[in-house]
Amino acid sequence: MNMKRIGLALGMILAAGFTATSASADTVLKLWMTGVGVDKYMADIVPAFEKANPGIKVQATNLSWTSYQQKILTGMTAGDGPDVFSFYSVDTAPWAAQKVLAELDGKFDANAFIPNALANGQWNGKTYSLPVGLRMRPLFYRADTLKAAGFDRPPATWDELRSYASKLVKKDAAGNIERVGFWVPTNHPYKTPQVWLTFLWNAGGEVFSPDGKKALFNSPAGVEATQFLADLVRKDKVDVPGAIKIDNVDFAQGRVAMLVSNIVTRDLLKNHPALKDHVGIAMVPGNKAQYIELSGDMVGIAGNSKNPDAAAKLLNFIVANPEIALKYYAIDRTLPTLKALADSDFAKGDPWIPTYLKFMDKARPLPAHPKWTEISSLITKAIDSVVLQGVPAKEALDKAAAAADEILAR
Amino acid sequence: MPARSTFRIPPGLLFVLPVMVIFLVVRVIPSLAALYISFTDFGGVRAPNWVGLANFQALAADPVFRQALFNTIVYTIGVAVPSTLIGLAVALLLNTSILLRGFFRTMFFLPAVVSFVSIAVIWSYVLNAQFGILNYVLSLFGLAKVPWLDSTTFALPSLIFIGVWKNIGYTTTIYLAAIQAIPQELHEAATVDGGHALQRFRDITWPLLRPVTAFVMLMTSIVAFQAFDQVLVLTGGGPAEASTTVVLETYRAAFQFLRFGYASAMAFALALVIGIFSYLLIRSANRRERAA
């Protein structure tokens, strides 16, 4: 009797499941996007996409910046990952090399994007992800502090940077630092190597050889850049390692006068509107060259997506539709990626976007190399040993480059 | 009337079956899969290739892994021994009739129930070199500012200090329960015989707590061997890898460098170290117990 009842119940469940499956002939896409506030953004755009694309349903999941890599990789390994997902541009090359990302060439209109915006999604001459929000790393300065010290413009060269920082640093009677002149980030997995990177480029150096098979960052330019940053701390004492932890808060509260950061894209003006007239952005001071680092939030299609065509529609809806792209900007104040937005009233009305866009032709993406993250950890260790322990820059970088060459040969 | 089957599943087995199934599915099978992956070049998504012992050989030659293993062992000893000793001392104190005993018991246990990530964020403010409260307090006594989390000398000791602080609640609770289980008559008899407090501790409390001490040491050590959250939040393993741990390097190898095979090899190397350590600890505890 009991067995009969159980059998009947199981039969009904199966029948219900079968009916449900057969009724939903829709293509179902899984969209995983990363960041704070992105859940509301997805709740806003997904219905609009489904309305414009009958027959495609989207299941949205919000990931956090601290764990998106684990979630996406384990999800895909288990065959239960996303079709379309967002991530940071540093992952493009390694994920392209591992087929986590599908190739996108031919699936989007490159002309819709502002020049250089696509560079962060490319590896080995092919495109694997498209930008949804860019983050540039210029020199931020407290215009009020600079003015009080007698400077009417930001520093443009390394010599100027050094003399400005030496004047702007403020110490109490006991010698404790009250305001950092220029922030030299140490012991941070990405801020340390990314700030250093612009100084390396501006000294005329490169991280890798053009074929990507050899480390070049221990070149004289690499040594010069690293020693310059170390001297700011060790000789000029414009910064004390560890003084600055949360760069946007420290900057807003006046604990640092100048820094290279992408903080404006993380709500600086939204949280501190009074700062608008007291802060400025400029190109990172140059030496033999003058570049600026550009990275950002990217969207790609999973290499193992079973619905690549529908996924491409969703991807284009997110990144190439100006109206939708604006909604992403509204969450996190990232920079516009589309030509249509660069000339829009929204961009012209923003206090800083026109300045950012002027820097765009000098912008360079993070090294598009599958081993960059691993090698950047060696670079961070080398920078830490030079800045914190006084190891000669040449010695530390030679050691790191030798280890990097082993990784590249693997 | 058909003959009824005489086969019966023992009821005890039925009770443990759900746990056994869960254990098999979420522990044993993934561990075996990870063991297999440690012999491959698995990068996260593409099919893995068998590489034999290559990952383990690379591990032996990897200076970062050696540094991480050294730091992990220092961290484990640095956390487990003081946590155990201080936990015992606090438990002995809280077992007396001091004022606000309940309040103190709660206060000491509080860190044990808060997530390590939240604790780490709070400590990062306390330990900030320039604007942190600890250095401010030190400056009141005319002492120089110490870069607690930003120097190769102090980063690991700072992590050890926080680890001990978090563990004391747990070790105290275990010890307190064990102390209260010691028959009062033993203490009374010793007191009648003229034994003072120190003698009673040495000859009654301490020997009877020996199995508990081994247990507390073992549990705090196993947790310390797996230090991760606090390291990631507070120092990121730096500066210059001065505070990196094996689990942090395992995480980075897998999810940041996409070397899942290598990361699995690292995880198994750590499991081996923990296994050997646990075996030695248990064996030494058993020997002492037999000798006693």
Low-confidence winner among A115-119, A216-220, B82-86 (lowest mean pLDDT): A115-119
B152 interaction partners in chain A (CB closer than 8 Å):
384, 388-389
Q: How far is residue B140's CA from residue B134's CA, in Å, rounded to a whole number?
A: 10
Q: What is the structure's pLDDT at B170?
A: 92
On whether any CB of chain A is under 8 Å from the CB of B151, the answer is yes
Contact B239 A240 (CB under 8 A): no
B124 interaction partners in chain A (CB closer than 8 Å):
245
As for the ipTM of the complex, it is 0.79
Structural domain contains residue B9: no
Place of tokens 């489904």: A50
Residues A52-91 have pLDDT tens digits of 999 999 999 999 998 899 999 989 988 899 999 999 999 9
On whether any CB of chain A is under 8 Å from the CB of B131, the answer is yes
- Output the six-digit token pair for A343: 């000339």
B151 interaction partners in chain A (CB closer than 8 Å):
241-242, 388
% of chain A exceeding 70 in pLDDT: 93
Which residue in B239, B252, B255 is closest to A388 by CB distance? B239
Q: Taking 60 as the threshold, does the pLDDT of residue A14 lie above it?
A: no
Structural domain contains residue B267: yes
Residues A133, A265: contact at Cβ < 8 Å? Answer: yes
Contact A94 B145 (CB under 8 A): no
B150 interaction partners in chain A (CB closer than 8 Å):
186-187, 241-242, 388
- List Cβ neighbours of A282 (8 Å cut-off, separation of 6 or more): A138, A139, A141, A154, A155, A156
Closest chain B residue by Cα to residue A101: B45
- List Cβ neighbours of B242 (8 Å cut-off, separation of 6 or more): B71, B151, B152, B153, B155, B156, B235
Contact B46 A94 (CB under 8 A): no
pLDDT band at A4; cut points 50, 70, 90: low
pLDDT band at A1; cut points 50, 70, 90: very low
Q: What is the structure's pLDDT at B100?
A: 77
DSSP line for A336-389: P-BHHHHTSHHHHHSSSHHHHHHHGGGEEPSP--TTHHHHHHHHHHHHHHHHHH
Degrees, nearest 5: CA angle A75-A78-A79: 85
- Output the six-digit token pair for A392: 């000669």
Contact B45 A188 (CB under 8 A): no
Which residue in B128, B131, B257 is closest to A374 by CB distance? B257
Q: Calculate mean pLDDT across residues B35-60.
A: 92
Q: Which amino acid is at A104?
A: L
Which residue in B43, B63, B239 is closest to A98 by CB distance? B43
Q: CA B44, B50, B56, B62 torsion: positive or negative?
A: negative
Domains of chain A: 26-135+295-364 (3.40.190.10), 137-294+368-409 (3.40.190.10)
Neighbours of A338 (CB within 10 A): 20
% of chain B exceeding 90 in pLDDT: 53
Report the domain count for chain B: 1
Rounded to the nearest 5°, which phi and psi values hold at B57?
A: -65, -40
Residues A258, A130: contact at Cβ < 8 Å? Answer: no
pTM for this predicted structure: 0.85
Q: What is the structure's pLDDT at A20?
A: 45
B149 interaction partners in chain A (CB closer than 8 Å):
187, 242
Shortest Cα distance from B116 to chain A (angstroms)?
Answer: 15
Residues A35, A65: contact at Cβ < 8 Å? Answer: yes
Structural domain contains residue B12: no
Contact A176 B45 (CB under 8 A): no
Residues A29, A58: contact at Cβ < 8 Å? Answer: yes
Q: What's the mean per-residue pLDDT of chain B? A: 89
Q: Taking 70 as the threshold, does the pLDDT of residue B50 lie above it?
A: yes
CATH number at residue B61: 1.10.3720.10
Residues A233, A387: contact at Cβ < 8 Å? Answer: yes
Low-confidence winner among A170-179, A312-321, B46-55 (lowest mean pLDDT): A170-179
H-assigned helices in chain B: 11-23, 29-37, 54-61, 63-94, 101-113, 116-126, 133-140, 155-180, 184-192, 197-200, 206-208, 210-225, 229-234, 246-251, 260-291
Q: How far is residue A72's CA from residue A382's CA, in Å, rounded to a whole number?
A: 30
- Reference A299, options A29, A28, A26, A27; nearest CA is A29
Residue span of the structural domain in which B286 resides: 53-291
Residues B147-173 have pLDDT tens digits of 899 888 999 999 999 999 999 999 999
Q: What is the structure's pLDDT at A378?
A: 95
Shortest Cα distance from A380 to chain B (angstroms)?
Answer: 7
Q: How far is residue B19's CA from residue A184's CA, in Å, rounded to a whole number?
A: 52
Which residue in A189, A242, A303 is closest to B149 by CB distance? A242
Q: What is the structure's pLDDT at B203?
A: 85
On whether any CB of chain A is under 8 Å from the CB of B279, the answer is no
- Output the six-digit token pair for B109: 């246990």
Closest chain B residue by Cα to residue A90: B256
To test the contact with chain A by mutation, choose from B40, B45, B134, B140 the residue with the greatest count of A C-beta atoms within 10 A, namely: B45
Structural domain contains residue B37: no
Q: What is the structure's pLDDT at A23?
A: 46
Q: CA B83, B84, B90, B94 torsion: positive or negative?
A: positive
Contact A174 B139 (CB under 8 A): yes
- Output the six-digit token pair for B287: 């020997």
Residues of A with CB under 8 A from a CB of B: 69-70, 73, 76-77, 94-95, 98-100, 174, 176-177, 186-189, 240-243, 245, 255, 303-304, 370-371, 373-374, 377, 380-381, 384-385, 388-389, 403
Q: Taking 90 as the threshold, does the pLDDT of residue B144 lie above it?
A: no
C-alpha pair distances (Å), B269 with each of A165, B48, B265: 48, 20, 6
Residues A194-248 have pLDDT tens digits of 999 999 999 999 999 999 999 999 999 999 999 999 999 999 999 988 888 777 8
On whether any CB of chain A is under 8 Å from the CB of B200, the answer is no
Q: Taking 60 as the threshold, does the pLDDT of residue A123 lie above it?
A: yes
A403 interaction partners in chain B (CB closer than 8 Å):
63
Structural domain contains residue B5: no
Q: What is the structure's pLDDT at B185?
A: 86
Q: What's the mean per-residue pLDDT of chain A? A: 89
* B139 vs A296, residue with greater confidence: A296
Residues A333-369 have pLDDT tens digits of 788 899 988 888 888 878 888 888 899 989 999 999 9
Structural domain contains residue B275: yes
* B43 vs A123, residue with greater confidence: A123
Contact A241 B129 (CB under 8 A): yes
A245 interaction partners in chain B (CB closer than 8 Å):
124, 128
Name the 3-class secondary structure at A136: strand
Shortest Cα distance from B255 to chain A (angstroms)?
Answer: 6
Structural domain contains residue B19: no
* B13 vs A160, residue with greater confidence: A160
Shortest Cα distance from B239 to chain A (angstroms)?
Answer: 5
The residues with which A364 forms a beta bridge, in sequence order, are A293
pLDDT band at B5; cut points 50, 70, 90: low
Q: What is the structure's pLDDT at B165?
A: 92
H-assigned helices in A173-255: 191-202, 220-234, 247-252
* B12 vs A387, residue with greater confidence: A387
Contact B236 A187 (CB under 8 A): yes
Neighbours of A394 (CB within 10 A): 15
Q: What is the structure's pLDDT at B107?
A: 82
Structural domain contains residue B81: yes
Residues A22-51 have pLDDT tens digits of 445 789 999 999 998 899 999 999 999 999
pLDDT band at A5; cut points 50, 70, 90: low
On whether any CB of chain A is under 8 Å from the CB of B278, the answer is no
